[in-house]
Amino acid sequence: MEYTAQISNRDGRWRLYVVLMDVRASEWPEHDFGPTDAVPTVAQRSRALAALGFVFTGGAEWEWAEYYETHGDDASPVRLLAAIQVCSLDGGQS
Kindly tell me the sign of the dihedral angle through the C-alpha atoms of 12, 13, 16, 21: negative
**pTM for the whole structure:** 0.84
Alpha helical stretches, state H, 33-76: 42-52
Q: 28: domain range?
A: 2-88
pLDDT tens digit sequence for 1-56? 899 999 998 888 999 999 999 999 999 999 999 988 899 999 999 999 999 999 99
In a domain, 30, yes or no: yes
Domain assignment of residue 94, yes or no:
no
Q: Residue 54: inside a domain, yes or no?
A: yes
Say yes or no to pLDDT of 94 above 50.
Answer: no
